[in-house]
């Protein structure tokens, strides 16, 4: 299992990231300052380090110098958002640089992308009888490819990534269509119906009263 | 052209011109003088020759002979061959222009004409056969016969003496100019050396070596310039250091500030996003919304502190006499609901202090809230006000957790927190004491911290007492 070390002195943010990683199926470990992080890295190896720069004791840049020779991929996660800060971080050998405030989905996508680069990532997502290859954007069901439109694919991906959670209509729409929800959910409902039909998932994609939809998959 | 080159050139030209002109004048005066002496001698000689011819011819005529041109020529010939080894050079011409006798060197007709037509005590100098001659002419009257006598005297020696002097002088001139160039070169090197140093140093400083100094230790104008230059460089270096420090402080502040503002924003956005995406269970919902609430309060506290900070500037400062009692009374009313059961005990001597009312209020409020965060064991915060040596000393005392001695120096830095998580839980922004020290600066005073771990902290500062109320 992929294990990620979160080095972040703000517990509120650390918890937020942990929630995201749990949902995405990554194991995590947590260090509240640079010293703790160095100790943890010494003891075991991680697949990725998510590193804040402004840390008590040892700051992120110093820690980076320590991690770099070990070959562990690093993503800086910091409030320092100027171009020169980014360049400095990337020059030091970081694989990516995320500026606060960030959205958890963006963080997960970047983590995926870095892990893929190291051939560690999950390019295949499984849900019941369906396999999604996120790299080639192909969907297979029982060895047969299912042809989906781009929006249908995005919708399926979001449902699978958030499987067994009741998802609000508004948010689903915003995430897939990247537009503000105007109160008209017909487009979304139509796409859900088409997915149910194409995958024969009438029983899996359920309507939740007053909320939206849920993809139920036994784990 | 370099200054030293200019100096060498101009000085050398001056010396060369003066020396050459002086030398030339001297030599030519010398020459003129010897020429005059020679002329006087020659005039005398010419007269002697003339008398000799005249008296001879008169004697001849008196002895009964008649005048004959041949006789005159014959006599002249004898006369010219006469005195010692040195031949006299002369010529005799008849009135009609016929040459009676001549042993003159060959001269052109034009020259001859000029020689024959000169009158009185004048002379002409002509060159012939490589020699210089002084030519004198006079008219003789012998028994009503007019004869022209021309005498020539060799003065080549005078000219060659002058030429020799000129040659010697030229050599001397050359040596003097050479010595002059060397001496002036040496002098300008010594004189312009410090200027060169000033030049190099100013270039280095222009290129960023602000630590460079000229340090020329002489008492002349250049030494003075160097000292003033060094003073200027000191001032510039200090200014630049201050500027760099303030830029660094500003950068640090902005970095810390963006960290402080983005962290709660990230948490708020993130948790709100989770809540609006999927229906989470009740327990998580409460936890996430509590975090959102806390982080929002943190942002709010930060923005309030920033407003305070914005008012901490010279422009907004209106100092005047402030009665301590009024300020403390108002403070007490304001603070009571915020202290959550902790008692604020106040003991102030009546007086007026020179201060900005709202800033003093802000300073005391922050100090009292800090004391509250230290969690005083006896649940009391004490505010004292005493007149001490013409100053009014405010002190805020608590019996709380105290400040570790190694942290004391840093607690007034912006966004510095001794225990971040505890400070967060108390709703701290890390700006309180920074604002306090800014306000103290504006009042030309300083915050003093006396603290012992586990026993408590006293913060005090002094203000000027207003003279009359």
pLDDT in tens, B393-451: 999 998 888 888 888 888 888 877 777 666 666 667 788 888 898 889 888 999 999 98
Alpha carbon distance B385, B347 (integer Å): 6
> Where does B225-342 show beta strands of DSSP type E?
278-279, 320-323
Backbone angles phi, psi at A183, to 5 degrees: 105, -15
Residue B83 has pLDDT above 60, yes or no: no
Whether residue A46 is found in the same domain as residue A135: no
**Tokens coding B456:** 């408590």
Q: Residue B421 has what pLDDT?
A: 64
Closest CA to B212 of B191, B197, B194, B196: B197
Extents of the domains making up chain B:
3-165, 211-311, 317-464
> Would an 8 Å CB–CB cutoff place A166 in contact with chain B?
yes
Q: Residue B127 forms beta bridges with which residues?
A: B132
Alpha carbon distance B393, B368 (integer Å): 15
Tell me if B270 and A170 make a contact (CB, 8 A cut-off): no
> Would an 8 Å CB–CB cutoff place B418 in contact with chain A?
no
**Tokens coding A67:** 């991690």
Whether residue A193 is found in the same domain as residue A131: yes
- Residue percentage of chain B with pLDDT more than 90: 17
- Residue in A11, A103, A166 closest to B421 by CB: A11
The CATH fold assigned to B211-311 is Helix Hairpins (1.10.287)
CATH number at residue A58: 3.40.50.2300
User: Which residues of chain B does A208 touch, with a Cβ-Cβ cutoff of 8 Å?
Assistant: 279
> Would an 8 Å CB–CB cutoff place A168 in contact with chain B?
yes
- Domain residues for the domain of A162 are 125-215
| Assigned architecture for domain B317-464 | 2-Layer Sandwich (3.30)
CATH number at residue A169: 1.10.10.10
Q: Residue B424 has what pLDDT?
A: 66
Q: Residue B425 has what pLDDT?
A: 65
- pLDDT tier at B289 (50, 70, 90 boundaries)? very high
Give the pTM: 0.57
Residue B85 has pLDDT above 60, yes or no: no
Identical fold, B211-311 and B317-464:
no
> Would an 8 Å CB–CB cutoff place A56 in contact with chain B?
yes
Tens digit of each residue's pLDDT, chain A (219 residues): 788 999 988 888 898 999 888 888 888 999 888 888 888 988 888 889 999 888 877 888 888 888 888 888 999 988 877 888 888 888 888 899 998 888 888 898 899 888 888 877 667 788 888 888 887 888 988 888 889 999 999 999 888 888 888 888 888 888 888 888 887 888 889 999 999 998 888 888 999 988 889 998 876
For residue range B380-403, list pLDDT tens digits in order: 899 999 988 888 999 999 888 888
Q: Which residue has the tokens 């294990």?
A: A3
Whether residue A106 is found in the same domain as residue A133: no
- pLDDT tier at B32 (50, 70, 90 boundaries)? very high
For A177, counting Cβ atoms within 10 Å of its Cβ (0-12 exposed, 13-18 middle, 19+ buried), the class is middle
For B1, counting Cβ atoms within 10 Å of its Cβ (0-12 exposed, 13-18 middle, 19+ buried), the class is exposed
Q: Which of A56, A83, A117 delimits the end of a domain? A: A117
Residue B343 has pLDDT above 70, yes or no: yes
Q: What is the DSSP letter of B315?
A: G
Q: Residue B111 has what pLDDT?
A: 85
Whether residue A72 is found in the same domain as residue A167: no
Q: Which of A58, A84, A117 delimits the end of a domain? A: A117
Half-sphere exposure of B259 (CA within 13 A, CB side): 22
Q: Which residue does chain A place closest to B279, by CA atoms?
A: A166
Q: Which of A117, A140, A163 delimits the end of a domain? A: A117
Min Cα–Cα distance to chain B from A20, Å:
9
Whether residue A51 is found in the same domain as residue A8: yes
Backbone angles phi, psi at B369, to 5 degrees: -65, -35
Min Cα–Cα distance to chain A from B290, Å:
10
Alpha carbon distance A135, B401 (integer Å): 56
**Between 3.30.1890, 3.40.50, 3.30.1640, 3.30.450, what CATH number should domain B3-165 receive?**
3.30.450
Mean pLDDT of the B330-342 span: 84
- pLDDT tier at B86 (50, 70, 90 boundaries)? low
Mean pLDDT of the B219-238 span: 89
Whether residue A131 is found in the same domain as residue A106: no
Whether residue A111 is found in the same domain as residue A140: no
Cβ(B465)–Cβ(B351) below 8 Å:
yes
Q: Residue B171 has what pLDDT?
A: 94
Q: How many domains are contained in chain A? A: 2
Q: Residue B79 has what pLDDT?
A: 81
Whether residue A113 is found in the same domain as residue A129: no
Residue B128 has pLDDT above 80, yes or no: yes
Average pLDDT of chain B to the nearest whole number: 86
Q: Residue A121 has what pLDDT?
A: 64
- pLDDT tier at B468 (50, 70, 90 boundaries)? low
Tell me if B420 and A162 make a contact (CB, 8 A cut-off): no
Helix axes B432-442, B357-373, angle to 10 degrees: 150
> Would an 8 Å CB–CB cutoff place B266 in contact with chain A?
yes
Whether residue A108 is found in the same domain as residue A48: yes
For residue range B165-211, list pLDDT tens digits in order: 999 999 998 998 899 889 988 988 888 888 888 888 889 988 888 88
**Tokens coding B467:** 């003279």
Tell me if A16 and B263 make a contact (CB, 8 A cut-off): no
Whether residue A60 is found in the same domain as residue A87: yes
Whether residue A40 is found in the same domain as residue A103: yes
Residue B25 has pLDDT above 90, yes or no: yes
Q: Residue A5 has what pLDDT?
A: 93
Work out the angle at residue B468's Cα, subtended by the Cα atoms of residues B462 and B469, and round it to the nearest 5 degrees.
Answer: 100
Whether residue A41 is found in the same domain as residue A140: no
Tell me if A166 and B421 make a contact (CB, 8 A cut-off): no
Pairing state between β A74-78 and B456-464: unpaired
Alpha carbon distance B305, B435 (integer Å): 8
Does residue A101 have a cis bond before it (omega within 30 degrees)?
Answer: yes
């Amino acid at each position: 299992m992929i294990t990620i070390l979160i080095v972040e002195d703000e517990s509120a943010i650390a918890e937020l990231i942990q929630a995201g990683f749990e949902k995405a199926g990554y194991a995590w470990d947590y260090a509240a300052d640079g010293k703790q992080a160095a100790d943890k890295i010494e003891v075991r190896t991680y697949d990725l380090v998510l590193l804040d720069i402004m840390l008590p004791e040892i700051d992120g840049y110093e820690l980076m110098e320590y991690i770099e020779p070990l070959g562990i991929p690093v993503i800086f996660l910091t409030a320092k958002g100027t171009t020169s800060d980014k360049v400095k971080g990337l020059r030091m050998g970081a694989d990516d640089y995320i500026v606060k405030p960030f959205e958890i989905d963006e963080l997960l996508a970047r983590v995926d992308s870095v892990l893929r680069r190291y051939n560690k990532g999950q390019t295949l997502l499984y849900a019941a009888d369906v396999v999604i290859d996120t790299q080639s954007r192909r969907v297979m069901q029982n060895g047969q490819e299912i042809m989906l439109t781009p929006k249908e694919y995005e919708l399926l991906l979001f449902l699978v990534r958030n499987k067994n959670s009741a998802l609000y209509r508004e948010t689903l729409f915003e995430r897939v269509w990247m537009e503000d929800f105007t109160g008209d959910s017909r487009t979304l409902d139509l796409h859900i119906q088409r997915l149910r039909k194409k995958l024969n998932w009438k029983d899996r994609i359920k309507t939740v009263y007053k909320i939206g939809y849920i993809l139920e998959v036994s784990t | 052209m370099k200054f030293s080159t200019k100096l060498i050139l101009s000085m050398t030209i001056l010396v060369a011109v003066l020396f050459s002109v002086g030398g030339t004048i001297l030599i030519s005066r010398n020459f003129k003088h010897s020429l005059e002496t020679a002329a006087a001698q020659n005039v005398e000689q010419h007269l002697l020759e003339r008398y000799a011819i005249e008296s001879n011819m008169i004697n001849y005529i008196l002895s009964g002979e008649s005048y004959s041109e041949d006789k005159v020529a014959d006599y002249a010939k004898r006369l010219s061959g006469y005195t010692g080894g040195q031949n006299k050079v002369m010529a005799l011409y008849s009135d009609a222009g016929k040459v009676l006798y001549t042993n003159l060197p060959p001269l052109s007709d034009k020259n001859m004409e000029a020689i024959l037509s000169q009158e009185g005590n004048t002379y002409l100098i002509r060159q012939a056969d490589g020699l210089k001659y002084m030519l004198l002419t006079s008219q003789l009257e012998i028994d009503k016969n007019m004869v022209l006598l021309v005498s020539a005297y060799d003065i080549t020696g005078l000219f060659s003496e002058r030429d020799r002097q000129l040659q010697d002088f030229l050599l001397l001139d050359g040596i003097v100019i050479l010595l002059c160039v060397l001496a002036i070169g040496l002098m300008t090197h010594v004189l312009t050396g410090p200027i060169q140093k000033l030049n190099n140093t100013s270039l280095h400083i222009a290129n960023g070596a602000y630590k460079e100094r000229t340090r020329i230790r002489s008492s002349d104008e250049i030494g003075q310039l160097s000292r003033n230059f060094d003073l200027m460089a000191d001032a510039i270096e200090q200014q630049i250091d201050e500027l760099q420090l303030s830029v660094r402080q500003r950068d640090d502040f902005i970095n810390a500030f963006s960290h402080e503002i983005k962290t709660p924003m990230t948490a708020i956005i993130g948790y709100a996003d989770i809540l609006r995406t999927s229906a989470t269970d009740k327990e998580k919902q409460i936890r996430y919304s509590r975090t959102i609430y806390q982080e929002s309060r943190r942002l709010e506290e930060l923005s309030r502190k920033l407003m305070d900070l914005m008012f901490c500037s010279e422009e907004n400062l209106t100092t005047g006499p402030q009665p301590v009692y009024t300020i403390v009374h108002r403070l007490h009313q304001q603070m009571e609901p915020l202290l959550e059961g902790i008692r604020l005990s106040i003991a102030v001597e009546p007086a007026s202090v020179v201060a900005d009312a709202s800033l003093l209020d802000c300073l005391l409020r922050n100090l009292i809230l800090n004391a509250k965060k230290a969690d005083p064991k006896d649940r009391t915060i004490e505010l004292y006000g005493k007149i001490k040596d013409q100053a009014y000393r405010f002190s805020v005392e608590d019996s709380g957790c105290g400040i570790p001695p190694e942290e004391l120096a840093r607690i007034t830095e912006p966004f510095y927190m001794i225990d971040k998580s505890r400070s967060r839980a108390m709703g701290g922004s890390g700006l309180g004491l920074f604002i306090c020290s800014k306000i103290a600066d504006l009042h030309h005073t300083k915050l003093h911290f006396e603290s012992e771990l586990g026993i408590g902290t006293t913060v005090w500062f002094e203000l000027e007492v207003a003279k009359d109320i």
